Each structure stands twice: as structure tokens, then as C-alpha cells.
Amino acid sequence: FPVDPCLYNAKNVTGSANYELSKDTHRSGDYALKLNGSVNSTYLMQFSETKIGITGALALTAYVKANNGDYKMSIACLINGTWHYSPSVQGTDWKEAKLVLAADLAGQTIQAIGVRVEGNGGFTVYADDILLETTSEQPTSLPLMDMQLAPKKMIYNHHLYMLKDGIYYDAMGNVLK
């Protein structure tokens, strides 16, 4: 089913940017989600709080584009307190970002859906045609962080964790407590 970026309980999760529904640039329909801000490494915006029960393998897709090709974008969802990300896409033309969630996540809940932007400097990013549907595709493997930040990586319970200097980090580089 289509996911409406209705900005229900929308918020900046990491970093800060302005967000709105824009009629100026969209792939289809009348509106697209527009993010405009400055990023120093990674920015994450939650555009919709949800309570979607996972009953099997799901694919979350969105078409995204940036004002210039220097930025990487991902679609993201929050499942039981942990953000999951699609592999990053890059470009000034509409590109599909897709996150495939494993069937063994059944019984858990998608709490929010968002967009992640990676890069440095001012950006304008658009997301449109956001869709969540059942799938038979294999789960998305999580993108790995830069080896300088996290030389040791491990996956536990479908989540990527990194260890550097005795400190564990999540896939966004946040310190885990």
C-alpha cells in the first residue's frame, strides 16, 4: 500500500532540516516530500509515525533525488526502536531506494518511516511514490560504514553493530549504551 508522507509526528532524528510537502517537484501525483538543510555526514528525518504490524517479508520503496549528485539517499524504517536503511542511491534524477525486510521480523512493528541523507553541505532532497508491499525478494543487506569508523563489524539479530576502541556503534555511527 502507498505510504503517505503526511508528516504525522514528523521530526528530525539526527541533524536539522526543513521539511514540507512540495508541489514544485514530484515524480507522480501532486506532491513530494521535500527536505532542505545542511548535513555534516548523515541526516535522518522521520516523516511519518506508524504502527504497521509485520506479518511477512516486506519491501519499502521510494523514489528519491537530490539537487546535486553529491548526496546519497536511503529510505528508512524504525522497527522496535532500531532504524533499518535501504542501500544508498545517488543522483539528480529519480532513483529507486528499496529496503527489503525479512519475513522473520513478523510480529514486530514498523514504528516510523523516514529518509536518510549522507554527504556534506547544503542539500535539497525529494522523496515520492513511497510504497510498502509484501515481497518474495531476499532481505536487504545493511550498508557498511567506513572502515576507519568501525574496523570490526558484526550482525546480530538482523542489526549491524560496529566495535571501535571498545565502544559499540549502530549503523548510523551512534554510540550504543
Task: Enter the C-alpha cell of residue 173.
Answer: 555511527
| pTM of the predicted structure, to 2 decimals | 0.74
What is the phi/psi pair of residue 125, to 5°? -130, 145
Contact of 45 with 11, CB cutoff 8 Å: yes
Per-residue pLDDT of the chain (177 residues; tens, 9 = 90+): 456 566 778 888 998 889 999 998 989 988 899 999 888 888 999 988 888 899 888 999 999 999 887 899 999 999 989 999 999 999 999 999 999 998 888 899 999 999 999 998 899 999 999 989 988 887 765 443 333 333 444 444 444 455 555 565 555 555 655
Residue from 2, 19, 155 nearest 82 by CA: 155
Contact of 136 with 98, CB cutoff 8 Å: no
Contact of 52 with 109, CB cutoff 8 Å: yes
